[in-house]
Amino acid sequence: MARWIAIPAAMGILGLILTGGPASALTDCEKREGFISLFDGQTLSGWTVMGDASWSVQGGMIVCSGQGGGWLRSNNKYRDFILRLDYRIADGGNSGLFLRATEQGNPAFTGLELQILGDHGGPPSKHSTASVYDAIAPSANLSRPGGEWNSYEVIYVGNTLTVLLNGRAVVMADLFDKALNESLAEERRFWNRASEGYIGFQNHGAKVEFRDIRIRPLTLYTPPPNP
């Protein structure tokens, strides 16, 4: 099991509360805090399909059919942020949430991937739900039974990462920790990964649904002006 490292500075923001409701809705509190919706509940506006066109909007949800492959990414890049969303997947299903991903290369390793699996009741590992894929195991596997909604909250600032699954912190890590990175191949060490990039969802051959996707950008990537 990979080592995970507590970050005292992150503890003050663990009181952030996951909020449900309509797919495109923001609470008044979230609006005051600077959250914006990444999904309007009706279209894929603001998103780009990478690979097969297996993504659609149905019933106020972003739905991946599981056909083909590839992924769906945000149009904007983000560096530091608080991200909140709900997902639903069947038992045995496989998907992932990409953070700071790039268009080129494998987004699970150019940025990082938080695993999404239908693995309720399984042990926590570097490949279970809420793991930083192939690098950091969560402290517990809190994935709900297949077909039930799960909630992610991710606080990603600099090289510190806090992941809450269903309201409980399961990863608090310094991604530049020496011992953590020594366990990884050189090209996969976190200091060699992108410091900013896209939010993305993985098509891994299973149907998966997403709703209530909202983000509080703490640093928004702005492309340089054209010469």
pLDDT digits (tens, 9 = 90+) for 65-122: 999 889 999 999 999 999 999 999 999 999 999 999 999 999 999 999 999 999 999 9
The answer to whether residue 183 is domain-embedded is: yes
How does 70-98 read in b/e, with b if 16+ C-beta sit within 10 Å?
Answer: bbbbbebbbbbbbbbbbbbbeeebbbbbb
Domain range enclosing 46: 28-218
pLDDT at 146 over 70: yes
Q: Is the pLDDT of residue 8 over 50?
A: no
What pLDDT does 226 receive?
57
Task: State what percent of residues in the chain have pLDDT above 70.
Answer: 85
Rounded Cα distance between 97 and 202, Å, is: 6
Residue 61, domain member (yes or no) = yes
Whether 119 is in a domain gets the answer yes
Position 159 in a domain = yes
CATH number at residue 130: 2.60.120.560
> Is residue 190 assigned to a domain?
yes
How far is Cα 21 from Cα 9, in angstroms, rounded to an integer? 30
Cα separation, 61 vs 65, in Å, equals 12
Instruction: Provide the pLDDT for residue 223.
Output: 52
**Number of domains composing the chain:** 1
Q: pTM for the full model?
A: 0.85
* pLDDT tens figures, 21-38: 444 579 999 999 999 999
